Every structure is written in C-alpha cells, then in structure tokens.
Structure 1
Amino acid sequence: MSAIDARDAITRAHREEWARVVASLTRRFGDLDIAEEAAAEAFAAAVERWADDGVPPHPGGWLTTTANRKAIDRIRREAKRTDKHKEAQALYDDDPPEPIGAIEDERLRLIFTCCHPALAMEARMALTLRLVGGLTMPEIARAFLVQEDAMGRRITRAKAKIKAARIPYRVPSAEDLPARVSGVLAVLFLVFNEGYLATGPDTDPVRPNLTAEAIRLTRLIRTLLPDNGEVTGLLALMLLIEARRAARFSVNGEPVPLDRQDRTAWDAALIAEGHRLVRERLAAGEAPGRYQVLAAINAVHTSADDARDTDWSQIVALYDQLVRLDPSPIVALNRAVAIAGLDGAEVALAAVVRLEGKLAGYRAYHATRADLLRRLGRNLEARTAYTAAIELGGNSAETAFLTRRRDELG
C-alpha cells in the first residue's frame, strides 16, 4: 500500500472512528486530554503501520486497542503512586465491559453521557458535537455563529470544568435521561443541519450520512421517551425537511429555493409520517416547544401542492409563537421571510434591516436581504448584498447560486 492510500484509509477511519475512540477513552480514563492525545498518537501510528502492512480487517478495533495502549503508557509515565500503575495495568489487560444501562445504541449512549447537566447547555452541545458528533471545529463554530478560536476556548473551558469538578463520565440510567434530553436534541439538530446544508467550502452541499444518522438516533430516543413532545417534534421536523432533499438541488448542483422546487419529487412517505407526528402532538393538548412549532411550520409548507397555495398567515402565526419560545435573531430572520410571503418584500425588508447589528457576520442575513432587494427592483443594493453574502464563505454550491443571482442583475 502506498503512503497516499494509507492516508486515504486513515481519513475514512478518522471520520468513522475518531469520535467513538475519544469518547470511549474518556469514559475509561476520566480525562479528555489523555483521550484526545492517545487517539491522535494511535492515528499517527496507523499512518506508518498501514502503509507497510495494509489496512487491518477491523481498523476501528486496531485504533481503539492502540489508543488504549497509548493512554496507559502516558498514565504510567505520569503516575507517581503504585496504585496508579496497577489501575492502568488492569485497564490494559482486562477491561470489563461497561453496563449498557437504559440505552443500547453505542453512539446515542455516548451523546447522553457527554450531555452532562452540570455543564452549561452551550458547552455540553459544543463538546458533544466535537467528541461524538464528528463535526470539525470550524463546523461547530459556524453552527454557533462565533469565531473558530472562540469556540475552541469554550470547549477547552468545558474540559477544564469536567476535570476540576470531577464530573463522572458514566453511562446514564433511565432516570438520567429527562434531565439530559434537551442537550441531546440540540446536538442532533445541529448535526442534522450540517448534513442538510453543509457549511464548509470543501464539502458536498448535502451530507446524507449526517441527516440519516440524526434521524436514526432521534427515532431511538422516541422509543425511550415516547411521551416527550419535543422528541416527537424534532423527529417530525427532520422527516419533513429530509423529504424535500431530492428537489433541493438542480442538475448543475445549485440549490433550488423552496418556492421553485418540484414538489412531485418530495418523499410522500416521509411527509405523511411527519404530518402524523405533528397531529399526534396537537392532539396531546400540551403547550408546544421549539421543535414542535418548527415541525408545524414545515407541515404547513409541505401541505401545499403549489407554492402559491402556501398558507403564509398560518406560518407567520407559528413564527410569532416561536419567537416567544426562542427570541433569537435567526428566528426573527426566518419570520421575516414568512412576512414576505404574507405582506410583501418591502415589509419583510424593514424587518430584516433591523437585524443587521446582530447578524452582520451571518451569510443567510445578507442573502435574504439581497433577495428582497432584488424583488423590489433595487438591483444595485441587491448586488452589494449578494457580494457580502458571497464573501462570508460557505459551501461551493451555495456560492455558485448567489454569484449567478448577483450576475443576473447586470
């Protein structure tokens, strides 16, 4: 095997195994720094060994075993007491299998384990996305609308708190799940969003493996917590968005706006399931949470056979409800898009402009403003807004779409 082939194999293994190896070592040794350094050493060793010996039959197991040995070697070097050596040796030789607890799926179990309620919600989300979700630091930073170095500092602080407070990385019991589920849902929603429309410039615009995994894990959570309305709401939301995937991009790879999509290409089975779940939550008679309202908005969109039949008044009313639950500028921006459908581009533009101070670095803000200006015939201003959106970067398909829209203005 050539060195290039070995690196390609490592890249595939990194995507599939990195998060699992790090999370497993963290639970085993109780130290995130040791876990990450041992995993990095194992992957470095793989680059050398696999180039000569070829990829082993079970690369994940090879990496896990090697990383365990690397971690134990470090513990031995740093340990000053005999009992530390004995503990490390015991882990090295015969590590007993951990109890599965309430969750049988390994990845879901890791997510619940990392979403410890002792950490701030944003910290547990970022940490879990990094260690278990497999997202890169730039992808996580873009999800939180912050700079990469700022997100790195947040994750470092979360690790430090885990170490200082001796927060245990133990498998959660059934009684632990309700206190952790909100963080787990937030993580899965961000993973789904990265798959639905990738943010990186060098990735495919859609990553079906991420959306499929987020849906799979959310289905599992629903079997664990069938009466939790937000779990059902998130599953419905994902299904209704995923149903439109086949129509979201043109033959040349550019994104197709919702009002121009071929609705006959939407997945009718996923839409039917999503609608059923939304109706189920409505029948429950409970006050809906954020994901349930978002699912209801998407149910209205997918109920219209033609974009001109969209019930914009109902969508705006749902956004009004969502703003009370989540008064974020991004929700306000999406509400403005709905306002454009109900009251026209000029009213919507006034709402968008008021968000500039909060969303000046957010690509979708400038793209939305550009589209509204284009509809109003204010082409020069629209060109400037499109340029601002393009310069903020993003996946290549979105950039090509925005560039073409700008250039069409002359």
Structure 2
Amino acid sequence: MDETVLRSIVPGVIAVLVRRGADFAAAEDAVQEALAETVRGRPGGEESVRDAKGWLITVAWRKFLDATRADSARRAREERVEGEPAPGPVPAADDTLQLYFLCAHPSLTPASAVALTLSAVGGLTTRQIAEAYLVPEATMAQRISRAKRTVAGVRLDRPGDVATVLRVLYLVFNEGYSGEVDLVAEAIRLTRQLAVRADHPEVAGLLALMLLHHARRPARTTPEGSLVPLAEQDRSRWDTGAIAEGVRILQAALARDRLGEYQAQAAIAALHADAPRAEETDWPQIVEWYDELARLTDNPVVRLNRAVAVGEADGPRAGLAALAEVDAAVPRHAAVAAHLHEREGDLAKAARLYAEAAHKASGLAERDHLTRRAARLNARLR
C-alpha cells in the first residue's frame, strides 16, 4: 500500500478511534503500530487496496483492543467496548481539522506541537521525526509522549485556533530538510490537507508562501552546499509551476479582502518571483507590503527585513536609518548592517560586521557564507 496514501488518512483514523472510546494517546499509538505492520509487509490483501482507511481503522482498532486487554488498569474501558466493528466502508465524518487543532493546542510548547503534528497528522514514525530533527529516537519518543499526555483530556469537538495551527505548520516548513523526511515537502502536504478542510484566507496565504519559497529551493545552494543569496541565484532553476500555483492561490486569498500576515509575506515572495532579474525587483512595492506586514504583526524580524527593502528602494543610507529602529539583538541584525554598509562603500566596517554576524550564525552554511563575505572585503582592503 502506498505510504503517502496511508499517511494522508492517518488523522481521520485516529479521530475514528477516539470517537469509539480510545483516548488520544492510545489511539495514536494504535495507529502507529498499524502503520508499522503495513510497512513490514503485511498490507491486508485486496481489502486494504479497496478501502485503505477502513482497513487501517480495523487493524488499529485491533491494536487498541489488544493493548486495552493487556492493561488491567483499563478494564473499565474494555467493558464499554461492544466488540470489534466489522470491516467495511467508513462513515464520511472527517475530524482531521479538529485533530490539527488538538496537536497545536496552546498548552503545548512549539517543539512538542510540531512533533505531535508530524506524528498524529503527518503519520510519521518516531524514528523519522527524530532523524529529521537530528535528535535520538528516545528523546523524540519522550517529547511526543509528554505532548500526548498534555492533550489527553482535550475533546475533539471544541473549536480550535487556526492561527496556532498555521504557526505550527510554518515551524515545520522552516525546519527545512534533514534525514529521511523532507520537512519542507511534509509541511506543504499538510497545509494542502488543511486548506481542503478550512476555508480560511490565511491557510491559503500560508500555502502560497510555502510554494513560492519552495520554488526557489533548487537555486539556493551550490552543489557543494554553499548558500547562494537571492540576488545571485540562477532564476532559470526556479520552479515556475510552483510559482504559478502559489500566485494563483494568493490572488484568490487576497480577493477575499481579509489580509493576514501569511498573505502579506506571500505577496512579498510573489514580487521576488515575478522579477526576471534581481535588478528588476519592485522594491518600492515590497516596502509597501512590509509596511502592511508591520501593521499586522509586531515582529522585529519584519522590521529588519523591511530595512533591507528600504535600502534597495531608497538607498543604503535610508536602509541604515530604518535599521537603526530595530533592536541590535535581533538575529541577523549584524548581517543586514554589513550588507548596507557594503553598499554604502564602507568596506572596513562591513567586513567587521560580516565577521561578527558569522560568529553569531546558527547554521554552518550561513556561517561559511558570512565568513567568505568578510574575507572577500578584507582582501579588497589590502
């Protein structure tokens, strides 16, 4: 059975088990065991092909009953179970959206919410999630277990906060790629799934933003893994299909006149994607969108990026004036200052700031990129 198909139906299967009497943690464990059995090569014959969701529910329900019978503390729950439902078509009820809300519950830390979303909604195994985040499997298992205990008493019929769900999916997207699972692709898949179920312009805005950023991925690094700045990227390598889809989704969302931060970010990404060459970028319009974004969210990173845009639209001095209003402790502040001073012609100061930014960089690729910038300017100053 196709793994992608299985993962897409996992949220609905968990929700069915919860409606039948399983608590969330037990339901999620049972589904993960059912998935593991499938991966090991016992797909259930023709029945699993005709009705994948129904078959997975049947196997997961058996796993749940086995676990219930093996645990004396759950005897009372077992007595409420009327027996194993016969395999067959599953009711059309879809609780996937409620499961999104549950996994993004405000009582969870961002890291726990992301891990639980990837497990319960994404259908990833604990090992896959651990590899993606470069942590031991036991550590990730503990994190997921704690998250499940936290939401154990939360009912699926309570209204959820779309904004919280979107923040969790955005966190997944920003993790990028590592290990066996491509978290960027996974975030896009889950956001597509959410967009089908939640008629909300910000869901569409986030999906458009992801597609527009993901479209530039092939040009973001050299074959050796070095970062390539946006202005220096080979735009012929950008995915025009993803760009076209992202723009189409964004235009439909903006037409609803309910602007949100993800739509504004997507609009900025669309303007970058629309420029055939870096020199043709519509920086004044990008500044306007950053002004909109700053009104929507009090985020210092937005003001930092706005300073870059102002520097491109009105010159480096104007950019530095805008940067002076941003807290110097904001990540990448020194890198932006270095870029603007380099454009203004103060190479010595730019070199010092690039070196400072490299020291503060969190990732190896970014650190190497900034170090090379500093070295290049120092070589010119000799």
For the criterion TM > 0.5, the same-fold answer is: yes
- Contact kept in structure 1, 2:226 and 2:368, CA below 8 Å: yes
2:293 pairs with 1:338: no
Matching of residue 237 in structure 1 with residue 205 in structure 2: no
How many angstroms does 1:331 deviate by?
Answer: 2.1
Residue 77 of structure 2 is aligned with which of 70, 75, 84?
84
CA contact (8 A) 1:20 1:132 kept: yes
Partner of residue 120 from structure 2, selected from 128, 131, 134: 131
Q: Which residue of 1 aligns with 2:172?
A: 191
Residue 381 of structure 2 is aligned to residue 405 of structure 1 = no
Quick one: distance in 2 between partners of 1:17 and 1:283? 33
Written as runs of structure 1 = structure 2, the 5 A alignment for 1:86-101 is 86-87=79-80, 90-91=83-84, 94=86, 99-101=91-93
* Aligned match of 1:56: 41
The equivalent of 2:219 in structure 1 is: 247
The one-letter code sitting in structure 1 at the alignment partner of 2:78 is H
Partners of 2:299 and 2:173 in 1: how far apart? 19
What is aligned with 1:31? Answer: 23
Letter in 2 for 1:168: R
What amino acid does structure 2 have at the position aligned with 1:405? R
CA contact (8 A) 2:11 2:99 kept: no
* 1:113-165 per-position Cα deviation (integer Å, ceiling 9, x unaligned): 24049942866854434532458479789xxxxxxx9xx88994x645533xx
Kindly indicate whether residue 96 of structure 2 is the aligned counterpart of residue 110 of structure 1.
yes
Counterparts in 2 of 1:173-188, with a 5 A limit? 180-188=161-169
Secondary structure of 1:115's match? helix
Q: Map 1:257-276 to 2 at 5 A.
A: 257-276=229-248
Equivalent position of 1:299 in the other structure: 270
User: TM-score, normalized by length of structure 1?
Assistant: 0.64
Is this contact kept in 1: 2:31–2:60, CA < 8 A?
yes
SS at match of 2:151: helix
Q: Which stretch shows the higher mean deviation, 373-382 or 80-89?
A: 80-89
- Name the residue aligned to 1:387: 359
Q: What's 1:167 paired with?
A: 154
The separation in 2 between residues aligned to 1:76 and 1:289, in whole angstroms, is 49
Q: Is the contact between residue 246 and residue 265 of structure 1 (CA under 8 Å) also seen in structure 2?
A: yes
Matched, 1:290 2:282: no
| Counterpart-to-counterpart distance in 2, 1:290 and 1:387 | 31
Partner Cα separation in structure 1 for residue 27 and residue 337 of structure 2: 45
* C-alpha deviation, 1:322, in angstroms: 0.8
Q: CA deviation at 1:327?
A: 0.9
Pick closer, same or farther for the CA change 1:272–1:68 going to 2, 3 Å.
closer
- 8 Å CA contact 2:355, 2:370 repeated in 1: no
Instruction: Identify unmatched segments of 5+ residues in structure 1.
Output: 1-12, 104-108, 142-148
Aligned equivalents of 1:334, 1:155: Cα separation in 2:
38
User: How well do the aligned residues superpose, as a CA RMSD in angstroms?
Assistant: 4.8
Aligned counterparts of 1:84 and 1:203: Cα–Cα separation in 2: 38
Secondary structure at the counterpart of residue 296 of structure 1: helix
3-state SS of the aligned residue for 2:262?
helix
Match of 1:217 in 2: 193
Is 1:311–2:267 an aligned residue pair? no
Partners of 1:181 and 1:153 lie apart in 2 by 23
- Number of aligned positions between the proteins: 349
Shift of 1:319: 0.9
Note if contact 2:104-2:117 (Cα within 8 Å) is conserved in structure 1: no
Does the 8 A contact of 2:359 with 2:367 survive in 1? no
Q: CA deviation at 1:314?
A: 1.5
Structure 1's 257 and 218: CA in aligned 2 closer, same or farther, altered over 3 A? farther
1:321 equivalent in alignment to 2:321: no
What is the alpha-carbon distance in structure 2 between the residues aligned to residue 39 and residue 117 of structure 1?
A: 16
Cα distance between partner residues in 1 of 2:336 and 2:171: 21
What displacement does 1:383 show?
A: 0.9
Question: Within 2, Cα distance between the matches of 1:29 and 1:302?
Answer: 49
Q: CA separation of 1:275/1:408 partners in 2, compared to 1, >3 Å: closer, same or farther? A: same
Cα deviation, 1:307-363, whole Å, max 9, x if unaligned, reads: 122222211121111112111223223223223322444554562783344x3xx4x
Change (3 A) 1:208 1:191: closer
Alignment CA distance shift 1:369-1:231 (3 Å): same
Distance of aligned partners of 1:292 and 1:81 in 2 relative to their CA distance in 1, 3 Å threshold: closer
CA distance in 2, matches of 1:382, 1:40: 47
Verify the 8 A CA contact 2:25 2:149 in the aligned structure 1.
no
Q: Report the Cα distance in structure 2 between the residues aligned to 1:57 and 1:352, rounded to whole angstroms.
A: 62
